[in-house]
Structure 1
Amino acid sequence: MYAISYDDQETLTEFAENQGVHFPLLSDIDSKVIRQFGILNEQVTRNDALLYGIPYPGVYITNEEGMVVAKFFHDSYKKRESPEFYIDAALGQLNLDENAPQVSGGDQDINLTIAVHGGNGTVRQGIVRHLVVRFELPEGLHIYSPPVPDGMIATQITIQGPEGFALMSPDLPATEKLTLPGVAELNVWHGTVDLVYPFFATGELASECRPLDVPSIDIKVTVRYQACTDRECLLPKTENFTLSLDLDVIDTPA
């Protein structure tokens, strides 16, 4: 692991010592490498003096051969992924923390888990966490992704939180095609299915500039789905869940 910055070596050395950084910090004073990678923040001009030359904040994940397997970038340093996501990307799988906030549903055949992934389930301004809806379907059963014909139920997830709780676009796994006699081609999931909904807190909910207004928040999740075999469908189900998440405490001047 290493990081690259437009700062000089002296500045990076001081930063590493103060923050306890133990991996290499590389100095790219003229932003040459930053430009080569095409990540120079062009919204910052020479008129912005000390800020000119900064890259868009981001992370590349590579394999042992140095090939990029994933990348994470944002338009502001105040928004970034939880470190757990980098590990997931490197390993190619999502590993839920058993100690993080989670609730269970489903029935004797279908296991349904709603969990928060990243940061031990805490919420902090700008730090992206994942709300994961995990279906564990036995062999022979599948659930549907939209669209579906009339009379069939596609999987639908509804997530509600307080003001300042910001949802991003979901990260959904690829579906498989299923063709049934007399029915249009359907998109289905089977086996273990992870529907991932990234979210973060804006300054309205958890600001780095003031003490927290409340210690925790409740997130309400509604899951509607219908499991089917190739021959018949089970009754549609709607399950409601509530997750209580601690807001991360940020020290602010008195």
Structure 2
Amino acid sequence: MQKLILLFSFLLISTGALAQADTSAFAKFNDFNNAVLNGGIKKAEAQKQFESLLKYISFREKVRNEGILPKGNWVFPLKGYKSNAIGGSHGNGYFDKGYRYLDGNKHGAHPAHDIFINDKNQDCMDDHTGKPVDVVSVDDGWVVACTNQWEPHSNMRGGKFIWIYHPASNVFTYYAHNNQIFVIPGEQVKQGQKIAEVGRTGYNAYKKRSPTHLHFSEFKLVDDIPVPFNPYEQLKKAKTL
């Protein structure tokens, strides 16, 4: 009996230590992503760090039996909206030529779809409901990086952004220009869960010439680095909440 009590106590301590390590790992991932954005890390070292951090997240799922299963189709990332809100014609606003994740904030590509809300007066409220528009996670995953801070004079393009890793499909999704975010690094999110509200933060989105929208991207892993992948067909099939 005494041995069982000692074993149980050891497991509790081990689980607590692992939880603390998990929090630390996600915080490191968030710091790493900020370093990439600010150009404060050499590319060779950045690639090593990215690979190491991603392996830890995968290990975390196996150890704690928190595996995320694939859902099939996505839900649309804006509550109450569907694919006809995507800018351009048939998704032609997307172009990823020249984009490299490790270039951080310095690139001229647009590997994303801008999804516009009804907001003629640019107050970040839906003109029909008078309420903010919810940004939701398209699938189950882990929040690996985000920021709820942005100043109008900043040259950072994404403003208040969120990166989510979806281990079941081994992809990342990116949600930018939010007005306010409601998740933190290390949080497990469910498909359709509210993660933010649509806003106008970010270098270009803040300017009056830009209609209020969500900047949405998908990235697949190629040689352990996120590479943009056009999600237009997935967004067209996505379920509206």
Please tell me the TM-score bracket, short chain as reference: under 0.3
User: Based on CA coordinates, which of the two structures has the bigger radius of gyration?
Assistant: 1
Q: Report 1 or 2 for greater relative contact order, CA contacts < 8 Å, sequence distance ≥ 6.
A: 2
More strand as a share of residues = 1
TM-score by length of 2: 0.25
TM-score by length of 1: 0.24
